Structure 1
């Protein structure tokens, strides 16, 4: 396992943005926005020669970019939108935006930018990251060229971006900043538990103190931001369970969350509990599939698992916001460790890194919110992740709908069961560590064929006919 110290902010892992994919929409939107800022700083001579924009997508961005909204996201970013602050329905309503408003502002001039500026390039390539996109600022001469490969040497300005998963963005020449070393450093679960024991800290206290050092926020500011994340999650659930209709794209998939919620109200005991959990997970996953605002947890494609569990913690267990917040901190720790030692993006490790990790995070959240020890929290996360190992990312037609939406509901149910087992077994007899399971996930992800990693070239994506 890597010994890299975890120095990521909670708010880099759990962030608000548009669906349906953190690597396909949030990352590319950030790239478009970054490019728009950079070109404004170019000298006037270059800007005066600028006549157009070219966007080239590679890897799974090319293979499933249309279904995942990459084309709309990168253009929205070029138009000056950022994921955290863009209108909730910006991408789902993109086609209704008038052409005259789809522009990149260079300061001294404005250039039109729209879907025809997108080129879907090679799925297999030699770039350092699967999800690569290149944005070029073109002269009139460049626009007349047929071979885009020549643009590397002739474009007025060019940037090579990598959407590395979870909404994180890097680019060619990117230098990792020296992160603040947190007061309680750890790189995996074993080290985290040692810090807790040696310093006699609660998991919540350790994570808050680390976050204060990493982000520079006060404890009160952190709590306010966590509460805002929980509010957005619940708001997304409520939007989803009150919305009907057909999701965008060629599949013609109808929303189910509202019906599931209505059916749950007529059921009894355990059936009602499970159906409510399903409806809440469906609600967020359907909002995500529509391209509306969600919270990455840890990704867009898995965004429904944790909000569904939070709703159940509040409604079924009657846990207050303070307890929900504590649970969310534990979930973040699990997400950190998975990302640091294996991965959380479908294009790199398959859906085991998305739904699998989300399920583990949610299981840890339940155990933490119930007041159990860090060992039980770890065991809950381990059980949840262990039984998602090998899960492929095979979206039908390249849309985050089938099997993605249903997987969120199944993941939420698995999280509850994993927590239930961990809370009632003898924790000292639990055999498998979370670190061992994360290591297994990383190995499986590395060996997994690329056609099962968000390219829609294998699995259910090809066995189900997309009309």
Structure 2
């Protein structure tokens, strides 16, 4: 099993595969070509078909444009063989010559892959046990708790990372409860978290906690939909 960092990711919405993945790919390509005079990015298949609604272009432009101009080519009818969420980044020098092309795939949950020969650009397996029953047996056998198993497998920075996840989520909830107006997109959906929160605070004690939990969840969903930074469960987000 991979690191918990692969489960709880911090990134921008609204989609782990269409926003978080492309943003990460753009960051990686920019690290390789900070000297580029411009960039060309081609989005294929699903990324191109629904990318505008998921702000794929915004994620890429926000990353690359501070360094150099970006040209995005949308190719929704072309599906690369490895995965439907394919994209190609090209760096262009001052003379207009392409210095490198890199094809990468956003395979879900914010994770990236290159091809069958290099299927993952992520952290290695860090947990020896992959079944919950095995972990439960280990806890009973050793007398240790879940967090102690995590401590044995993860790097020491895991606790700082989880604290950052918690802080990010709390900030997303706070922003979502304060924000009003309409969410981005052509549907003109109004934000409802703030209204639900006010309504829930007036509920009887037996119902209030349930109402507040719903308001908090809605606040994060609306922040995610608006493209804001939050902590996401990308496997769940991708399945949705």
- TM class by shorter chain equals 0.7 to 0.9
Partners of 1:251 and 1:273 in 2: how far apart? 31
Kindly indicate whether the alpha-carbon contact (under 8 Å) linking 1:31 and 1:77 is maintained by their aligned counterparts in 2: no
Cα 1:278–1:201 shift into 2, 3 Å: same
Higher strand share: 2
Range with greater deviation from structure 2 (61-70 or 12-21) = 12-21
1:10 alignment partner in structure 2: 4
Higher helix share: 1
Partners of 2:195 and 2:41 in 1: how far apart? 40
Q: Secondary structure at the match of 2:178?
A: coil
Cα 1:179–1:35 shift into 2, 3 Å: closer
1:372 alignment partner in structure 2: none
Deviations 1:70-94 (A, max 9, x none): 0011122224xxxxxxxxxxxxxxx
Unaligned runs of 5+ in 2: none
Where do 4+ consecutive residues of structure 1 move more than 6 Å? Answer: 139-142, 177-181
Aligned counterpart in structure 2 of residue 193 of structure 1, from 125, 132, 136: 136
TM value normalised by structure 2: 0.86
Matched, 1:134 2:88: yes
Shift of 1:31: 1.1
1:169 alignment partner in structure 2: 112
1:139-218 equivalent positions in 2, closer than 5 A:
155-172=98-115, 174=118, 182=126, 185-211=128-154, 215=155, 217=156
2:196 alignment partner in structure 1: 260
- Identify which of structures 1 and 2 has the higher relative contact order when contacts are C-alpha pairs closer than 8 Å and 6+ apart: 2
Matched, 1:67 2:53: yes
Shift of 1:139: 7.4
1:408 alignment partner in structure 2: none
Kindly indicate whether the alpha-carbon contact (under 8 Å) linking 1:61 and 1:70 is maintained by their aligned counterparts in 2: yes
Unaligned runs of 5+ in 1: 1-5, 42-46, 80-101, 105-111, 143-153, 300-342, 352-467
Cα 1:175–1:290 shift into 2, 3 Å: closer
TM value normalised by structure 1: 0.46
Deviations 1:24-50 (A, max 9, x none): 112111111211222247xxxxx6xx6
Aligned counterpart in structure 2 of residue 228 of structure 1, from 155, 164, 167: 164
Kindly indicate whether the alpha-carbon contact (under 8 Å) linking 2:26 and 2:63 is maintained by their aligned counterparts in 1: yes
RMSD, matched Cα: 2.8
Size of the aligned set, in residue pairs, is: 239
